[in-house]
Amino acid sequence: MMHPTISPRTCSLHMSLINDMRLAWSQHVYWTRMLLLSIAERLPDETEVTSRRLENPYDIGDIFGRYYGLDAAKQIAALLTEHLQIGAKLITALRDKETDTANELTKQWYDNAGRMAKAFSALNLNYHYEALLKMLNTHLKLTTKEVQMRLEKHYAADIAAFDQVEKEALMMADYFSEGLMRSFPRAFV
């Protein structure tokens, strides 16, 4: 039974945002997973997977653009695109055992996460920099574990790591949705 003060329309608007955000962040990790498999196994679909994967930052940016406008959407998409590009290079460097390159890319990846946390927290008072940085850094650590397990051919551990990545991405999606609903309550009535 629905709460008496929540209208069906309000409930629908809440669910629409939550579903859009969860889908976008799920696709973020799914397409990253597919690219990991392509790079690790040297599959011929790497170019096509990369192309599809790079649509995702715009999907996420568009959600935020509904509330903050085109400039914010572009900023978020640019930071997420950089995140994905660094990640692809890192997977390749790890696969090819280029330790110095992998270390430099890891540093760039974490720097990018810091800039993302700063950008998101500047948009919305409900997005706390420290909480976002912790979530994004956790995302990077879990993804790195997934990559390492795949490259070492520990397939059960690789799958378990991806399960953690997926759960963490959904938690981030819910954090972002909740912050939007708190900041824009009139958009959900």
| Residues near 37 by beta carbon (within 8 Å), at least 6 away in sequence | 43, 150
Per-residue model confidence (pLDDT) at position 177:
97
**Which residue reads 């940085």 in tokens?**
133
Averaged pLDDT, 166-186: 96
Q: Tell me: the pLDDT tens digits for 27-74? A: 999 999 999 999 999 999 999 999 999 999 999 999 999 999 999 999
**CA distance linking residue 174 with residue 25, whole number of Å:** 10
- Band (pLDDT 50/70/90 cuts) for residue 1 is very low
The full set of domain ranges for the chain reads 9-182
Averaged pLDDT, 158-176: 98
Per-residue model confidence (pLDDT) at position 7:
53
| pTM (predicted TM-score) | 0.92
DSSP 87-131: HHHHHHHHHTT-HHHHHHHHHHHHHHHHHHHHHHHHH-TTS-HHH
Torsion sign, CA atoms 118, 133, 86, 123: negative
**CA distance linking residue 1 with residue 91, whole number of Å:** 48
Determine if residue 42 is left, alpha or beta; phi over 0 gives left, psi from -120 to 50 gives alpha, anything else beta: left
**CA distance linking residue 66 with residue 140, whole number of Å:** 27
Q: Tell me: the pLDDT tens digits for 111-161? A: 999 999 999 999 999 999 999 999 999 999 999 999 999 999 999 999 999
Under 8 Å between Cβ of 13 and 19: no
**Which residue reads 């997934």 in tokens?**
146
Under 8 Å between Cβ of 140 and 113: yes
Per-residue model confidence (pLDDT) at position 6:
53
The burial of 158, by beta-carbon neighbours within 10 Å (0-12 exposed, 13-18 middle, 19 or more buried), is given as: buried
Cβ–Cβ contacts within 10 Å for residue 91, how many? 25
Q: Tell me: the pLDDT tens digits for 4-24? A: 555 555 568 889 999 999 999
Per-residue model confidence (pLDDT) at position 5:
57
Per-residue model confidence (pLDDT) at position 9:
57
Residue 4 DSSP SS3? coil
Cβ–Cβ contacts within 10 Å for residue 137, how many? 15
Per-residue model confidence (pLDDT) at position 187:
85
Token pair, residue 105, equals 């890319």
